[in-house]
Structure 1
Amino acid sequence: MFLILTSITVITLDFRGEGEGLIGSVRDGAADALAPVRDAAGGVLDPVGDALAGVTGYGKLEDENAELRARIAELEGSALRDEGAEGELAEARALLGLDFAGDTPRVDARVIATPVSNFEQTIELDRGSDDGVAVDMPVVDGAGLVGRIIQVSASRSLVRLVTDPASAVGVRLARSSEVAVAEGEGPERLLSLSFVDPAADVSVLELVVTSGLNDSVFPPGIPLGRVAVADPAPGRLERRVEVRPVSDLAKLRLVSVLRTGP
């Protein structure tokens, strides 16, 4: 009961925090303290079983893929007995074929908590600094960009989703080569693109990828979404363009943290 009350208090105080100062320290400690409780509950409720094994952050990409293949083999057996494993199996296979990440080292992780309010679009992962995860590392699934790490404890990390109103991602439109900034508008809403030239030749369904410009924390070429709205902009300074994320952010289970940076 004490741990539950502590968790509620931290969430209330830190619902918009970036992990700095006293609140960040309390949250980090609470995350590690609550880990055994959450893990025990997950063992009872989750038909799939143990979390997808993540890499230590220093192993080779071949080792990471070997762990994913082992997890896939486990899930294939589970899928025969439980329909609930089929979705996770598909996600694990997609991560194994993560071509847009190239040879970037990564830490595979499992989502253990999803957004609890409309004020903040974040998810929690079962990997932390002990696994090589650090603040500002990009997070992806098999389809594309999910968000970035904003808070880390020893065994847990918090991800700000691209749909969060505080999220801003430098992007490039793949066909027209227009450069813009994709901003979150909240849950179940399209992303909005800022700074799009009103005369730009933007097409619906055009792929939008990360630009990697201006020392961005996101490497170039990661798929973010596809254009869903591209309204003409006569007499305006910029064109109204909205993007639908390629990742199903409401159903995330398995993701990869890209170990970019120094």
Structure 2
Amino acid sequence: MSLDTRPPRQTPVRRVATPRERDEERGLPTRSLLSALVLACVALMVVDASSGAASPVDPVRRFAGEVLGPVQAGASNLLDPILGIPGWFRTNDGLRGDLADAQRRIADLEAANHQDSYLANRADELGRMCALVDDTGYAVAPARVIGYGSAQSFSNTVTIDAGTDAGLHADMTVVNPDGLVGRVIQVSSHTATVLLVIDASSTVGGRVGDTMENGMVSGHGGLADDQPLELQLIDHTIVPQKGQPVVTWGSEGGAPYVSGVPIGEVSKVFQDLRLGTYRTVLEPYVDFTSLDDVGVVVPTGGAGGAGVIEPGACS
């Protein structure tokens, strides 16, 4: 039996590093250095605050501004567009919403303006209709033109939105604020057909307003301005003068035309040398291409139904 005479193995004791050594290994400044930096900063602050305008720190401050200012500005110019992208999207969406709101408000204002213009025109038409009623002394049942006759009918007619329920019947005079429109030729319960005085089959007794000379006014069958009315006076030796007004002569019993309703004025006079007569052209007061509000002459005293405009009712 052998004995191990080697000395026992000793485990080396590992030395524990001090905090300062650990900081040095990590590359961190020592506590004494940090303390010195803090004390230096405090001293600079005290010196800067106590020196007033002439601070010994000013050269350092200017140097830092001259060196770091351009760097900071360049970095800001580079990063601001990138950092502003989210805000740009938010701003763009907001602008789109504001633009849509503005467009809606503009559309609403335009619609209101159009409505106001329409209502103003209707009010003006009603006022002038009242003036015509007062001037002629006739009561009228108000109506609106809701359609023109088709070209295939070979006649110039319009349809109005009043009929027998409003007291209308055939052979009633139809006017608008400007003058004579035509006469009723057909009636249903809620509508009526009106033959316009410009139709080729229309003949109206006319009278020159300031001379009281009588004649017949005939249509030429067209709505165009170059197809006016024609006046043939009973006395062929009378020469009408340009600008003279012509009104309705009037039928017996006021049907189909009552008297005194303006028709138009003399625009041209031509002499027929072969027949020794004169052809007188009338410019109608009514614009037949823009008919809207009209009135049908009815008996006074409410016999024409509800809504009748009586003389003096609008004053």
- Per the TM superposition, whether the score is higher than 0.5 is yes
Select which of 109, 117, 137 maps to 1:83: 117
Select which of 145, 151, 165 maps to 2:180: 145
Q: Which has the larger radius of gyration?
A: 2
Secondary structure of 1:177's aligned partner: coil
CA contact (8 A) 1:196 1:239 kept: no
Distance change in 2, residues 1:134/1:213 (3 Å): closer
Select which of 144, 150, 157 maps to 2:192: 157
Aligned-residue offset at 1:243 = 0.7
Paired residue for 1:170?
205
CA contact (8 A) 2:271 2:277 kept: no
Paired residue for 1:228?
267
Aligned-residue offset at 1:82 = 3.8
CA contact (8 A) 1:134 1:152 kept: yes
Matched, 1:200 2:235: no
Mapped to 1, the partners of 2:151 and 2:280 lie a distance apart of 26
Could you tell me which amino acid in structure 1 is paired with residue 171 of structure 2?
Answer: D
Aligned-residue offset at 1:117 = 1.6
Paired residue for 1:39?
none
CA-to-aligned-CA distance 1:134-154 (integer Å, 9 cap, x gap): 100000011111000000001
Distance change in 2, residues 1:133/1:169 (3 Å): same
Distance change in 2, residues 1:166/1:174 (3 Å): same
Mapped to 1, the partners of 2:215 and 2:299 lie a distance apart of 22
Aligned-residue offset at 1:237 = 4.4
Mapped to 2, the partners of 1:130 and 1:214 lie a distance apart of 25
Matched, 1:110 2:144: yes
Aligned-residue offset at 1:79 = 6.3
Select which of 225, 235, 241 maps to 2:280: 241
Distance change in 2, residues 1:215/1:106 (3 Å): closer
Distance change in 2, residues 1:148/1:79 (3 Å): farther
Which has a greater percent of helix? 2
Paired residue for 2:22?
none
Aligned-residue offset at 1:90 = 2.1
- State percent identity of aligned pairs: 30
Could you tell me which amino acid in structure 2 is paired with residue 210 of structure 1?
Answer: T
Select which of 200, 219, 233 maps to 2:258: 219
Mapped to 2, the partners of 1:154 and 1:214 lie a distance apart of 26
CA RMSD of aligned residues (A): 2.4
Mapped to 2, the partners of 1:215 and 1:242 lie a distance apart of 28
User: For structure 1, which segment, 149-158 or 208-217, has the greater mean C-alpha deviation from structure 2 after superposition?
Assistant: 208-217
User: For structure 1, which segment, 199-208 or 131-140, has the greater mean C-alpha deviation from structure 2 after superposition?
Assistant: 199-208
Alignment gaps of 5+ in structure 2: 1-111, 304-315
Alignment gaps of 5+ in structure 1: 1-77
Select which of 128, 137, 150 maps to 1:94: 128
User: TM-score, normalized by length of structure 2?
Assistant: 0.54
Could you tell me which amino acid in structure 1 is paired with residue 197 of structure 2?
Answer: V
1:125-136 alignment runs, 5 A limit: 125-136=160-171
Aligned-residue offset at 1:96 = 1.8
CA contact (8 A) 2:239 2:278 kept: no
CA-to-aligned-CA distance 1:98-155 (integer Å, 9 cap, x gap): 23330x3321101111233272111111100011011000000111110000000011
Could you tell me which amino acid in structure 2 is paired with residue 128 of structure 1?
Answer: G
Aligned-residue offset at 1:174 = 1.2
Secondary structure of 2:207's aligned partner: strand
Aligned-residue offset at 1:89 = 2.8
Aligned-residue offset at 1:223 = 0.5
Mapped to 2, the partners of 1:115 and 1:243 lie a distance apart of 23
Mapped to 2, the partners of 1:173 and 1:139 lie a distance apart of 20
Mapped to 1, the partners of 2:299 and 2:156 lie a distance apart of 23
1:19-34 alignment runs, 5 A limit: none
Could you tell me which amino acid in structure 2 is paired with residue 242 of structure 1?
Answer: V
User: TM-score, normalized by length of structure 1?
Assistant: 0.64
